[in-house]
Amino acid sequence: MLEKERNNLSKIILDSSIEVHKQLGPGLLESVYEVCLYKELTNRNIACQRQVYLPIVYKNEKLDADFRIDILVENEIIVELKAVEQMLPVHHAQILTYLKLYNKRLGLLINFNTPKLIDGFKRIINGYEK
């Protein structure tokens, strides 16, 4: 996927997240936002999957541990949702881990527990926040 397409898709995800936040407001469980954002994206004809299994493979051996990506959009963008008081370094580490293990370029870290959603929206590209 070209960078321009990835950026346009990122804007759609942000707009969809803002719509969910307008409808629900802050203070709910992460799982509620996940289901609603998934619905909003599919309503906009965006291909996405929820709770995508991400195995850990080390030296060609699958280990007995795995992760789940909250939402994978167009098999390109990893979306990690939070509903927390404040973002912590561990949240950034989590999405960086997913990007590296899944070999993806762009991740979005979205905290729905903010008065304005834009304040809880972070783009993570190749390990660098933008």
pLDDT tens per residue, range 79-110: 999 999 999 999 999 999 999 988 899 999 99
pLDDT digits (tens, 9 = 90+) for 3-13: 889 999 999 99
* Band of residue 128 on the pLDDT scale cut at 50, 70, 90: low
Domain boundaries, the chain: 3-129
- Judged against a pLDDT cut of 90, whether residue 120 lies above it is answered with yes
- At 127 the pLDDT is 54
The C-alpha angle 79, 80, 85, rounded to 5 degrees, equals 140
- Judged against a pLDDT cut of 70, whether residue 27 lies above it is answered with yes
Q: Order of strands across the sheet with 128-129?
A: 48-58, 61-73, 77-82, 106-111, 121-125, 128-129
What's the CA gap between 122 and 130, in Å, rounded? 7
Residues listed for the chain: 130
As its CATH architecture, domain 3-129 has 3-Layer(aba) Sandwich (3.40)
Here the tokens at position 49 are 């999957």
